Structure 1
C-alpha cells in the first residue's frame, strides 16, 4: 500500500501554510487539489500560494490551464497520478493540499470517469434552468442527491447544472464514493475550526484579498475573458463581476464574498464529516506547531517514519 497524505478542510482553514510546514519536515512535494488555482491569472481570489510562501517546496498543478480550458476531477486525477508515482519511486510521501472535495475523492475512491458528459443532456438542463430558474434547479438537485447538493455552491447556476448533469448521466454518483481505490493508503487530514473562529478567519482573509488587489485582478481578467469562463463563476470573482457590471457597490460585493465563502465552508465541512476515515485536527485548540506535530505523529503511526515511507 502506497502512502498519500491529504491536507484538506474548509476555505480559510490554513491548509497551504500547514502543508508547506509538513512538506519541509518530510522532504517532499505538494500537489494542489483546487479547482480554481489550476487557472493562470486567477491568483488573489483563489488564495493561490505565492512563490515566497512556498518556502522552496515544489507545488504541482497550479497555473497549468488557461481560463477558457475545461478541467475536471478526471483531468486532475490523470495529472496527479504520474506525480505520485514519481514521488513514490523517490521514496517520498506525496502531500495533497486543497479543498475541492471531488478532486480529493478521485484519489480515495475508484470513480468511473469513462463516461463523457452528454451534450444533449447539458442543453436540456440549461433549457430547464432558463425556463424554471435557479430555485427550481436547486430543489431538483436536493431531491435527486442531497449529499451532492451539500457540496455544491447553490448560488452558482453553472455548478448546480453540472451536479445535475453528473447525476443524470451516472457520472460520479454518490454511490461511487464507497468503493475505495486499491493500492493507496491515504492519511486523510481535515483542519477543523470552531465555527465562529473560522468565520472570523474567512472575513479577515477576504479583506486581505481586497487589500492585495482582488478588484484589479478581476477587472483585468474580465476585460480579457468576460464572465463566461468557468473560473469566473467562483467565489471572489463572480461577486466582483457584479460590481464591475454596476449591479452592486464595492461594499456589497465584499460582504457577499464573505457571506458566500462562509456558506461554502459550511458545505465543505458537512461533506468532510461524512468521511469515515478522515482525521479532524482541532485547529481552534492548537498552535500551528502543535497541529504539525499531531499530523507528524499520525504519519509515524500509519507509515512508520516521519522522513518518507522507505526511511530515506
Structure 2
C-alpha cells in the first residue's frame, strides 16, 4: 500500500456501501451508479461463486448489463476461495475503474474482506494441520470454553456455533502464545493511498428481520432449492460454499435431516444471526455515515442524496476542479451516527 500525498482531496476516492444482509445496500449501489459515473465492485465472499445466484441475492443479468459489475462469478462452487485471492483481483479492478474516470462503488457484505482491504491481513503462523484436526474433533461448547481460557475477549465476541472462527482463534493462540484479539489493532489503521467514504443503510431491527424473512420466501419462490440440487448434482460444493446460509440448510434437508419447512425456518434464523454479527463488525468503523431508512422509498431518497454527495466528492478528489453546485437537495437528518 502506498503512502498518499498530504493533500487528501487529491487522493482517488473509493466509496464503500456496507450494511447487513437484506438491508438494500446492493439496491442503493445500483441506484447511485445510474446517476453518476461509477462502477459496482462486489465485496461478498459468496457472490464469487458461479451459479450461486438466488441464494446470494446476486445482481440480475439485467442489472449487470445496466451498470458495470465486477468480482462476481470468479470461481466454481466446487473450488475453494479465500480473501487473499479476492484482494489480488480487487486491487487491479479498482485501478481500472479509476483509470476510466469512474468512481469505484464497493458493495460490501463481507466484513472480513473489508477489514483486510482497508487494514491488511493478519500475519498468521503456518497452519498446524495436526492441531487443527484435533480441534475439529471437539464439540462447539468445548472449543468455546477453551477459547474463553486462552482469549476471553475473542470468546466474548464469537458465538460457540461459529466453529470456523473459534477454531482459528484457538489455533492462533496455541501456536503463537498470543490472543488473536490483541492483534485487532488493525481496525485503528487504514491504508492511505485512497480517500474513503463509508456509508450504508441502517434499519430498525424489527423491520430488518421482517425484510430478511420476506427475502428468504422470495428466494424459495424463485427456485433456490432447484439451484442447490443443480449444483449438488453437478460439480458439487466446496467446503466453504457448502457452508453458505441457505445452501447448507437445504442440503441438509435433501439429506433427510429435517423437513423443507424446518429448513426454511433455519435459513431465516441463521440469516438474522448473520445480520447481527455483521453489524458488530461494521460498528468498529467509527467513521461510517449510516443512512437511517424505514422504507424502500426512503432507500431511494438515500440513493439520490448520496449520488449528489458523491458527485461533489469526486470533483473534490480531482486536482484543481472547482466544486460543483449541488443538484439534489440536502436531506437533513438522513445521516445517523454509528450505534
Q: Structure 2-normalised TM-score?
A: 0.80
**8 A Cα contact 2:187 2:285, kept in partner:** no
What is the CA-CA distance between 1:258 and the residue it aligns to?
0.2
Q: 2:136 matched to 1:129?
A: yes
Question: Measured at CA, do residues 276 and 72 of structure 1 come closer, stay the same or move farther in structure 2, by a change above 3 Å?
Answer: same
Tell which structure's C-alpha radius of gyration is larger: 2
Partner Cα separation in structure 2 for residue 140 and residue 309 of structure 1: 52
Question: Measured at CA, do residues 69 and 259 of structure 1 come closer, stay the same or move farther in structure 2, by a change above 3 Å?
Answer: same
1:214-253 pair list within 5 angstroms:
214-226=224-236, 228-253=238-263
**8 A Cα contact 1:9 1:15, kept in partner:** yes
Secondary structure in structure 2 of the residue aligned to 1:52: helix
What is the CA-CA distance between 1:12 and the residue it aligns to?
0.4
Q: 2:126 matched to 1:118?
A: yes
Question: Measured at CA, do residues 279 and 204 of structure 1 come closer, stay the same or move farther in structure 2, by a change above 3 Å?
Answer: same
Map Cα deviations across residues 262-287 of structure 1 (whole Å, 9 max, x no partner). 01101111211121111111122661
| Paired position in structure 2 for 1:100 | 110
Question: Measured at CA, do residues 228 and 142 of structure 1 come closer, stay the same or move farther in structure 2, by a change above 3 Å?
Answer: farther
Q: 2:149 matched to 1:138?
A: no
What is the CA-CA distance between 1:291 and the residue it aligns to?
0.7
**8 A Cα contact 1:126 1:161, kept in partner:** no
Secondary structure in structure 1 of the residue aligned to 2:290: strand
1:59-98 pair list within 5 angstroms:
59-98=69-108
Partner Cα separation in structure 2 for residue 148 and residue 293 of structure 1: 41
Question: Measured at CA, do residues 300 and 226 of structure 1 come closer, stay the same or move farther in structure 2, by a change above 3 Å?
Answer: closer
- Root-mean-square deviation (CA, aligned residues, Å) is 2.8
Structure 2 gap segments, 5+ residues each = 1-10, 325-339
What is the CA-CA distance between 1:257 and the residue it aligns to?
0.2
Partner Cα separation in structure 2 for residue 90 and residue 272 of structure 1: 30
**8 A Cα contact 2:242 2:248, kept in partner:** yes
| Paired position in structure 2 for 1:157 | 163
**8 A Cα contact 1:190 1:272, kept in partner:** no
| Paired position in structure 2 for 1:20 | 30
What is the CA-CA distance between 1:190 and the residue it aligns to?
2.5
Partner Cα separation in structure 2 for residue 37 and residue 296 of structure 1: 25
Q: Which moved more, 1:33-42 or 1:99-108?
A: 99-108
Q: Which moved more, 1:184-193 or 1:70-79?
A: 70-79
Structure 1 gap segments, 5+ residues each = none
Q: 2:282 matched to 1:272?
A: yes
**8 A Cα contact 2:143 2:166, kept in partner:** yes
Tell me the number of residue pairs that the alignment of Structure 1 and Structure 2 aligns.
Answer: 305
Map Cα deviations across residues 52-80 of structure 1 (whole Å, 9 max, x no partner). 23351111111111223232222222111
Partner Cα separation in structure 1 for residue 190 and residue 291 of structure 2: 23
Partner Cα separation in structure 2 for residue 193 and residue 6 of structure 1: 18
| Paired position in structure 1 for 2:300 | 289
